Amino acid sequence: MISKKMQDAFNKQINEELFSAYLYQAMAAHFEGINLRGIANWFSVQAQEEMSHAKKFYGHILERGGHVTLEAIAKPKSKWNSVLAAFEESLKHEKHITDSIEKLIKLADKESDTASHTMLYWFIDEQVEEEATVEGIIEQLKMVGDNANGLFMINKILGERSAG
């Protein structure tokens, strides 16, 4: 059985993950709207991944006899000044999510909830990977700077990302 404190914290994390999906879908829509469809694809796949993260928390709560409570999702911004600005915001957001997961691990330890603790380590591994991926894209964007050919190459490469 999941404790009330853990259940409430996981419900809050579901909202964080759904906001992440919403944010990335907003980024996808922005870049689709300016014909950078590869970059839009990357963010759209990221949005799908964040939805799957929300579902993992959802499933864990239910498997442990808890109750899922969905709250309103905050409205994300809808425009970015550059591809670099969007990826920098993405990295900042991923670091926020990593911090949130680390706090959940501490709560799981305090609640003596080994099942939740174990599940949360999957998320830590995932966050390390996500931060590293976004940092790599940011470095590439900085290297190409204002070079349109470089941006179009990155757009093409990011367009090859697929879900799953």
Domain ranges of the chain: 4-158
Q: Which pLDDT tens digits describe the chain residue by residue (164 residues)?
A: 999 999 999 999 999 999 999 999 999 999 999 999 999 999 999 999 999 999 999 999 999 999 999 999 999 999 999 999 999 999 999 999 999 999 999 999 999 999 999 999 999 999 999 999 999 999 999 999 989 999 999 999 999 998 76
Fold of 4-158: Ferritin (1.20.1260)
Furthest-apart CA atoms within the chain: distance in Å = 55
Instruction: Using alpha carbons, select from 105, 121, 103 the residue that is nearest to residue 113.
Output: 105
- Number of Cβ within 10 Å of residue 34's Cβ equals 12
Q: Which two tokens stand for residue 32?
A: 């689709």
CA-angle at 115, arms to 132 and 127, nearest 5°:
10
Whether pTM exceeds 0.85: yes
